[in-house]
Chain A
Amino acid sequence: DAKTTQPPSMDCAEGRAANLPCNHSTISGNEYVYWYRQIHSQGPQYIIHGLKNNETNEMASLIITEDRKSSTLILPHATLRDTAVYYCIVRPSGGYQKVTFGTGTKLQVIP
C-alpha cells in the first residue's frame, strides 16, 4: 500500500508561490514527513522535513495539519529552476526498509 498520495503534476507561474499537497492518512505518531526533489535526471535533493510542527528553511516551508494526515510544501517564490519532481515521503523513526519515494509530483514553473 502506498503511504503517501501526491498529484502527478502541477503548474505554477514564475514568481508565485507553489503549494504542493501530500496525503499521508495512515501516518503514525513516530513518523516524519520528508520532502525531496529531483531536477531532470540528477540525484534527489533534500528540501525539508518535520514531525508535527510547521517548519521553514531557506528553500521552503512545510505545513503539517493538526491531525498529521496531510501536509503542504510551499515554495514561496517559484523560479524556473524549481521545475522538478517533488517527492513526499513518510519515514518511520526506526529502519529504512519501508521507505519508498513513490512517483511524486512533477512541478512545471511557467514563465
Chain B
Amino acid sequence: GQNIDQPTEMTATEGAIVQINCTYQTSGFNGLFWYQQHAGEAPTFLSYNVLDGLEEKGRFSSFLSRSKGYSYLLLKELQMKDSASYLCAVKDDSWGKLQFGAGTQVVVTP
C-alpha cells in the first residue's frame, strides 16, 4: 500500500531552522513535492525533487534520497508567516496522481 509519514507538529522560534522529515513507501515514484498550506487555503508549491540530492530555493531547501525513501524540507531564518502546514506528496506513476502525507503543522513562536 501507500504510506507517507511526516511528523504531526513542530515548534520553533523566529529566526531558527526547522527540518521536516518525510518517509515514503509507494507503489511508484516519479518525484516528490513539498507544499505549504495555510488554514482554509489551498496548498502552494514549494519544491520538487526527482533526483537524489539537495535543491535550494532561498530560505527553503529540500533533500531526496530515493534509495532510503526519504526526503526533508529545511526552513531557514524562520518568520512568523511560515506558521503553516507543510505537506509532503509523492507523484505516483499511474495517472501522475499525488499521494499526500498528513502534513506537518509548523508553529513559529516569537
The judgment on whether A and B are partners is no
Q: State the A residues within 8 Å of B (CB).
A: none
